[in-house]
């Protein structure tokens, strides 16, 4: 195909999914990298004195088509991948890594940026322009611009290897998730499983041309089985299979990759003058340093652990009374937690699910966005998508202006990785007086409709949908001049505030009444269920908090110390998790080798940010609660000061502008039922 026929090399607004062939990607990347190099050359060859406009702004708007094609390609590699796309990713990632280094290690370009940066105190700049200047300068200084030539070459080789290793890590996890099947032919082995979960398992088996039922490691299959199946032996089998992903002695083993990534990141940080990878990363975070992160996590652990221990003892005693289980194992956790929750609150997911039809929950999220921010979501069918499951919406503001395109992709399939995430196909910016609006996507993995039932969500899935939609709103309501400061382009420990605060509405009767209606009768969710949802919100919160802290500490063990002498992944993991250990270790299992957030994902040295952002979100929602959860004035302030501003100013400045004060941890401790420890 000639370049003139390649849809990725044409001007487009909406991503032209149906026109793209896999074969288009590599040529497009090759051409667009060259085009962007030419744009860079135009900047460096400019004979005028370096200025904010001819250097910083010019650099900001370089390579926009390349960025868009990259976002389309890597989103497909997460949501609709195949062997061919994975191979292209292996070819393209080193190219992009090398090109990124070509920019940050371009001395002529750096000297122009530095010339502008050195004048910053005399320039008349807006707050956003000042942030952009600082960010552009740091993108060079933090990525090797001040290194000698031989060290620059070493940095290039490290970055190239890391890009390939991260891809391989993710591919191995996906391959392991897809390959495992627990084929059940005896209906007694499904005892305890709700009927719709049995039907879903039968559909999976049918899709693979097998009789009986099939349980897989995809979340909508795995989690209900662990929660409801009475057969402890099968729960054990499934849990061990999940925990053993990429830890077996086969082609998908990630142990060596983990060690190489951790050591490569450490070497890179040292090369740039930082003590560890975490020191490098956290310099550009609200927390500021590994010491502050560790203090934060350990302080929270001190508060949560007594509660967690008490909850664990209660759970273990309950399992012993119920089934004579002497010692709880990891495969007992979800099962007995659900049983105990049902006993204490007479509330289980099966009672709630009929009230949480997926389409209604989506409309519920839209309604909250309408009440708070005046947004209208109009479903449309004329927007190109990459899969038949993907729904599309046009988003309008109060003035009936189109402010975003929203893609919603909610069901699992073989080419889609587990989990839930927000992403974008087009960023927001203001250029030449035109406000280009963003194209935002939410991707989740909720149970597909069956022949007899629509897609019904657990309450946990409802909060997941609201969480990702909160990220989506951060993207949709973006309103900045520069694309690299727009939407979710904020400090990593601030990015979870919009998503986590949005979950809070799920626990409010006023909100649930909008959408929690029985899928058959239309009856609004009974008040007693709402009361129990609220009452059970902090159920086993101590254990959940310790679990999150453990993952934060595991992340810091890989990235906040010198990993040079670590040769055994499991050994390092056990050491890191010693203080947070609740359940006995399982020899066949290891978390690090499938910990996608911190190895291929962007959360290295940043997993703590979930708990960090909880302090922010609890404090922020307290403000709404004090003034009405649908208070349009506070909603407008949140949109104006948080959602629309992206990374244009330091997040604490933005937060204080919204809240009038710095966040206080008391709201989180109170919400989590841990506040008594502070008395």
Active site residues: 468
* Cβ neighbours around 47 below 10 Å, total: 4
Cβ atoms of residues 299 and 615 within 8 Å: no
| Alpha helices for 579-630 (secondary structure H) | 609-627
Question: In the structure encoding, which two tokens stand for residue 573, read together?
Answer: 């993991």
Q: Which residues contact 40 (CB under 8 A, 6 or more apart)?
A: 59, 62, 103, 106, 109
Cβ atoms of residues 385 and 17 within 8 Å: yes
Q: Which residues contact 76 (CB under 8 A, 6 or more apart)?
A: 85, 386
Cβ atoms of residues 406 and 472 within 8 Å: yes
Choose among 242, 234, 238: nearest CA to 186: 234
Question: How many Å separate Cα 573 from the centre of its chain?
Answer: 22
Cβ atoms of residues 156 and 101 within 8 Å: yes
* Cβ neighbours around 633 below 10 Å, total: 9
Cβ atoms of residues 195 and 224 within 8 Å: no
Residue 630 C-beta-side C-alpha neighbours within 13 Å: 14
CA triplet 420, 190, 225: central angle to 5 degrees? Answer: 20
Q: Which residues contact 47 (CB under 8 A, 6 or more apart)?
A: none
- The residue written with tokens 């004048």 in the block is 119
What is d(CA 654, CA 341) in angstroms, rounded to the nearest whole number?
39
Q: Which residues contact 518 (CB under 8 A, 6 or more apart)?
A: 354, 355, 525
| Alpha helices for 560-592 (secondary structure H) | 569-576
What is d(CA 196, CA 643) in angstroms, rounded to the nearest whole number?
38
- The residue written with tokens 């670590």 in the block is 566
Cβ atoms of residues 607 and 551 within 8 Å: yes
What is d(CA 324, CA 495) in angstroms, rounded to the nearest whole number?
45
E-assigned strands of 375-528?
Answer: 376-380, 391-396, 402-409, 421-426, 429-431, 434-436, 439-443
Choose among 647, 651, 650, 286: nearest CA to 486: 647
Q: Which helix (H) or strand (E) holds 184?
A: strand 182-184
Q: Residue 199, exposed/middle/buried by CB under 10 A (0-12, 13-18, 19+)? A: middle
Q: Which residues contact 521 (CB under 8 A, 6 or more apart)?
A: none
What is d(CA 525, CA 537) in angstroms, rounded to the nearest whole number?
17
């Amino acid at each position: 195909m000639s370049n003139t026929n390649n849809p990725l090399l044409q001007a487009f607004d909406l991503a032209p999914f149906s026109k793209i062939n896999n074969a288009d990607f590599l040529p497009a990347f090759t051409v667009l990298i060259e085009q962007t190099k030419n744009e860079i050359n135009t900047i460096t060859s400019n004979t005028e004195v370096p200025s904010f406009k001819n250097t910083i702004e010019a650099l900001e708007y370089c390579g926009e088509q390349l960025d868009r094609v990259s976002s389309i390609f890597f989103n497909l590699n997460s949501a609709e991948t195949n062997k061919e796309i994975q191979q292209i990713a292996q070819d393209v990632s080193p190219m992009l890594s090398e090109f990124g280094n070509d920019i940050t290690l371009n001395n002529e370009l750096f000297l122009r940026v530095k010339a502008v940066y050195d004048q910053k105190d005399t320039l008349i700049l807006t707050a956003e322009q000042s942030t952009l200047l600082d960010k552009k300068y740091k993108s060079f200084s933090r990525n090797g611009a001040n290194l000698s030539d031989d060290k620059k070459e070493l940095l290039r080789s490290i970055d190239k290897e890391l890009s390939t290793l991260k891809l391989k890590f993710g591919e191995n996890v996906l391959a392991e998730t897809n390959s495992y099947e627990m084929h059940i032919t005896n209906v007694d082995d499904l005892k305890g499983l709700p009927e719709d979960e049995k039907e879903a398992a039968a559909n999976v088996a049918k899709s693979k041309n097998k009789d009986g039922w099939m349980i897989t490691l995809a979340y909508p299959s795995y989690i209900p089985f662990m929660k409801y199946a009475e057969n402890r032996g099968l729960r054990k089998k499934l849990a061990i299979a999940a925990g053993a992903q990429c830890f077996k002695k086969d082609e998908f083993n990630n142990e060596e990759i983990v060690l190489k990534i951790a050591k490569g990141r450490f070497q890179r940080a040292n090369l740039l003058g930082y003590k560890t990878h975490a020191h490098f990363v956290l310099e550009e975070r609200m927390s500021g340093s590994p010491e502050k992160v560790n203090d934060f996590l350990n302080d929270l652990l001190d508060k949560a652990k007594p509660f967690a221990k008490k909850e664990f003892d209660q759970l273990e005693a309950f399992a012993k009374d119920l089934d004579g289980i002497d010692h709880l194992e990891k495969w007992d956790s979800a099962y007995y937690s659900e049983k105990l929750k049902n006993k204490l609150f007479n509330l289980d997911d099966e009672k709630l699910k009929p009230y949480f039809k997926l389409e209604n929950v989506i409309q519920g999220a839209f309604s909250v966005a309408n009440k708070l921010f005046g947004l209208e979501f109009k479903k449309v069918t004329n927007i190109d998508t990459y899969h038949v499951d993907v729904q599309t919406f046009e988003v309008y503001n109060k003035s009936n202006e189109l402010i975003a395109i929203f893609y919603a992709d909610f069901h699992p399939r073989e080419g889609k990785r587990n989990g839930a995430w927000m992403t974008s196909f087009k960023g927001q910016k203001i250029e030449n007086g035109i406000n280009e609006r963003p194209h935002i996507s939410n991707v989740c993995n909720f149970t597909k409709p069956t022949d007899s039932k629509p897609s019904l969500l657990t309450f946990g899935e409802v909060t997941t949908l609201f969480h990702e939609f909160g990220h989506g709103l951060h993207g949709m309501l973006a309103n900045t001049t520069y694309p690299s400061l727009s939407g979710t382009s904020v400090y990593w420990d601030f990015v979870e505030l919009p998503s986590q605060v949005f979950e809070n509405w799920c626990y409010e009767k006023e909100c649930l009444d909008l959408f929690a209606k029985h899928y058959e009768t239309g009856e609004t969710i009974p008040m007693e269920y709402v009361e129990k949802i609220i009452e059970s919100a902090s159920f086993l919160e101590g254990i959940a908090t310790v679990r999150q802290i453990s993952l934060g500490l595991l992340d810091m063990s890989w990235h906040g110390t010198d990993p040079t002498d670590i040769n055994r992944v499991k050994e390092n993991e056990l050491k890191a998790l010693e203080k947070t250990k609740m359940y006995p270790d399982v020899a066949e299992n290891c978390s690090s080798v499938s910990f996608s957030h911190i190895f291929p994902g962007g959360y290295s040295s940043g997993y703590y940010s979930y708990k960090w952002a909880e302090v922010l979100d609890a404090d922020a929602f307290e403000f709404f609660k004090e003034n009405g959860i649908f208070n349009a004035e506070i909603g407008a302030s949140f949109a104006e000061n948080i959602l629309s501003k992206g990374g244009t100013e330091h997040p604490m400045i933005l937060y204080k502008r919204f809240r009038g004060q710095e966040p206080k941890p008391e709201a989180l401790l109170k919400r989590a039922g841990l506040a008594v420890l502070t008395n």
